[in-house]
Amino acid sequence: MTGPRAARLRFAWAFVRHQLRRRFRTPPAATAEEVVTTYAQDHLRPLTPFERERLPAMSRCINCGLCALVVRRVGQVRLPDLASAYLRDLTLLPAAGADLKGGDPGPDALAAAAAICPVGVPLDEVAAAVRRLAAPEHAGVAGHAETAEPGG
């Protein structure tokens, strides 16, 4: 039997079985760590609550290049590219982390660069978030054992 009616019948039977199963054998509740561990190989890392709150501001970059007049690079990365290229496909950051190695201008210099940004991108926060998400050893649930605030 196929078609919508059969689909509804099969689904109804599955629902009855599900209810009975949960009545007699409720499995222990899963944790966020289980999700993160399951998908660690796919680099699906959660944002921290701080990063989540600040992401809209970190996303305003219009690639005007003014910040590069204050700080040219973070590691080998041209500063405007941090927000407009690196803080985009977050799953690639662990593989692309090598680009960030080398010169670290430090939070003060980045804050100075942020001060002249015409759209107010918090570049120090962008750099901290990119570094955290690129770090190979950080695969835990965000916002608990670690921080992504600048200089944290």
Partner 1 sequence: MTDGTAPSSHDAIVIGGGVTGAGVARDLALRGLSVLLLEKGDWGGGTSGASTWMVHGGPRYLEFDWDTTVLSTEDAGNIVRIARHMVHRCVVLVPVMPEDGLGIERLETAMEVYDRYQPRKESRPHIRLTGEEARRVEPGLAPGVVAAVTLDEWGVDPHRLAWANVLDAVRSGAQAFNHCRVESLLRDGSAIAGVRYRAADGQRVEARARIVVNAAGPWAPQVAAMAGAEVRLRPAKGIHIVYDRRLSNFAISAEAVDGRDVILVPHGGVTFLGTTDDDHYGDLDALEVTPDEVDYLLQAAERVFPSIRAHRPVRATAGVRATLFDWRPRADRLSRRFEVIDHEREDRVPGLVTVAGGKLSLYRLMAERTADAVCARLRHRARCVTGSRPLPGASGVAPPVRELAAEHGISTLAATRILARHGSEAPEVLDDPRRGRLACRCEVVTEAELVHAARHEQVRTLADAFRRLGLAAGPCAGTSCVERAAEVIGHELGWSPSQVREAARDYVTGSWRGRAPVLDRWGWAQEELAYGARRGWPGGL
Q: Does 62 bind partner 1 (CB under 8 A)?
A: yes
Q: Of 32, 29, 28, 34, which Cα lies nearest the Cα of 143?
A: 32
Size of the site for partner 1 (CB under 8 A): 66
What is the smallest separation between the CB atom of 70 and partner 1, expressed in angstroms?
18
**Kind and range of the H or E element at 74?**
strand 73-74
Tokens in use for 40? 């660690």
CB of 120 to partner 1, least distance (A): 9
Confirm or reject binding of residue 22 to partner 1 (CB under 8 A): yes
As a whole number of angstroms, the distance between CA 133 and CA 148 comes to: 9
**Shortest distance, position 43 Cβ to partner 1, whole Å:** 8
Q: According to the binding rule CB under 8 A, does residue 142 interact with partner 1?
A: yes
Instruction: Please give the structure tokens belonging to residue 38.
Output: 């399951």
Q: Does 128 bind partner 1 (CB under 8 A)?
A: no
For position 152 contacting partner 1 by CB under 8 A, the verdict is no
Smallest distance from partner 1 to CB 151, Å: 21
DSSP string, 88-103: TSGGGHHHHGGGG-S-
